Structure 1
């Protein structure tokens, strides 16, 4: 039985490094794509709703009505784009997509305010985008409620009744992301997503390319053992993956301003574990695919569900239990919890051991499966 040979292993590593250097397209994917994806998704994936295009039909034309409209604009949630003269004009602008919110102030608004009589204003909201609609309605309700409380306080002070004291209040304290900025939540997830996509595709292409060129058969007839060939093929990509990780980590921290609150050493070590997992996934894909086109199709068949199931875009807690179990079969699910835990919460391994264990188990299982399939194909 042949033993593992470091010299044969180094030969495969050297061969793969030379091939990567000559293959400018793969090298570009490995070095340029992570930066491009980070900037693209970093600026494009933003769930913070601001500057909602708003139209106002002010039938009162009074100082009070203008103050109410200005209260909406001062929040930066609403951006008053136009003033209209009829309901039909307001609804037409919403239908055309030029505005998403319409504020209708009745003609007797100022008169009823002066008489301290109840008065209602109407908010028309484009509900085709639920996120925008919920943000508009909730913020408008808060603005009107605060305005009503201030009016009530002023009336009570005029009557000599003192200051209005609410019987119930809420004191909220937001941990880890006080300003609730979506970019702070998204950037750690993007690092994991980019690492998964780039390294998995590159590794899969590397082995499938050997099949297409017929060089895999030449390697098989040499004394090189399957383990030596496998490790030699993925070792250069470990270095490339770590380099790409350092680039996106630097840009995420210094360009997008998302600091790492936890241990950077722990982050690098667990990222290396995830990197090895995705590399072995690429090898597994290469044992299924016969051409680079098939490898691309299989890779995307795995990437797209992982984006949905891992919690990158949507919270997993709101998903049905069966879908959550399916998400447990995706290594990105565990790595995102690790990334956000270290980035945002600054926690250590005592809080992340369960996710680390899950990713480790997945890594070991996929290594065994990939090795068995790879060995079977070579034999």
Structure 2
């Protein structure tokens, strides 16, 4: 009986009980509460399979200081991963923080159930750091009940949960341009399908109108949600700039919500005889030094605290793992307040 008990896996128990392996694992370790009905199904499955709860507890208790297992999962490919320096900063910070916490880390791209790492599927992961928005409901079901932190705007079922910091970014950009005397401003963005960009747009428009400033939105819809090359991005931005430039009374201030787009727009504007920073005031976002290098005059940008966000996410996750009953919800979003980084144009005189 003891030999058979050791051979039965948590995954098999989960299949018999109709729950995820993570739910079984946390039920056995008492690290999360489950309903009486779920507990009854798990206990029934254990009894039928011959799984020994006593042996499981002895094996776990023998690990005096068990190393935590953390999975950093990218749930969808999007434009920020390909073209934003902030995503790379956050990723490096998450990896460094996990290593400093003396935990094991799995880093994987999971857009469908087949790509879910076995350690996550069988419930041996202690916590999750998540980025992106997965459309596969089976993946979300498998990771339900596992302590997790989100680094991005995402969807849960029918709900869209925007990252709170993007509201502040939109507000900051609108306030910056209105304080500089602009009476008409615009949001220009080739990545409108991205949740973060959409949130920045919504709040930029809201606070511009609240400040009694006219506002226009120039956005490009991209069904693929990303671009295969800088050339494709440039082509999309050229169309948007043509729309903006053709206005009889065009906006004198632009919020371009990603610095890589700002750099491309400088080139496009120069080719049209429009001087960025002189003929039109621009503020970007990301504080991407590589993208902004060489731009003159250097535009203002917004620092979103990507590295700090990565470190804080891991700290929050470790605390939640060590204090499983402290909070009701199993997921939390980590936010760092954005900061304005002034550009090389100290004053802008609206013509």
TM-score range, shorter chain: under 0.3
Q: Between Structure 1 and Structure 2, which shows a larger proportion of strand residues?
A: 2
TM-score (norm 2): 0.24
Q: For the pair shown, which has the larger CA radius of gyration, 1 or 2?
A: 1
Q: Between Structure 1 and Structure 2, which shows a larger proportion of helix residues?
A: 1
TM-score (norm 1): 0.23
